[in-house]
A = this chain, B = another copy of it.
């Protein structure tokens, strides 16, 4: 097995097991076993479990943002752009349930809170396309005049809840359901 293969296998195993069992339900020994490497090998690539998890998160962002932004046209109307982004997000999560479950674990942990705090304090990253969209929408009186955090909650809260239920099998989110869901989110934020 070549070098990058091992790292790749560790990352894949970690993502899968953490998505399935949570951070403390996925010990390093389980990850290494699943990846078919020795316990110490993980530490050739990641200094600690914490750093492995943060790396996993960064990798995930790098996969997710391009997917969401693919075909995004900043000159189209706000509503259309919103629907494009949300639909892409929803599809990404449906097609990558492991990524979604990991993201949930991450946000619901000290890692995620710290990360979110940094983001709030103004650091730039891929999420800004939503921020820009919302700010523009407020300015043009197309969206409700509410704090950005609230608009984020109104737009993403439902997506997270619904995708969660979909992945757990409590609802089947087929093609006929995606558009109504996204439009309902639009209804929540539009003026």
Contact = CB atoms under 8 A, between A and B. Distances in A.
A180 B153 CA distance: 13
Interface in A99-120: 104-105, 108-110, 113, 116-117, 120
Contacts of A144: 180, 184
Interface stretch (A9-17, A49-57, A129-137, A156-164): A156-164
Interface of A: 22, 24-25, 104-105, 108-110, 113, 116-117, 120, 144, 146-147, 149-150, 152-154, 156-162, 165, 168, 170-171, 177, 180-181, 184-185, 187-190
A158 to B, nearest CB: 4
Number of copies: 4
Nearest to A189: B184
Nearest to A148: B171
Contact of A184 (B109, B161, B170, B188): B188
Contacts of A22: 108-110
Contacts of A117: 168, 170
A150 to B, nearest CB: 6
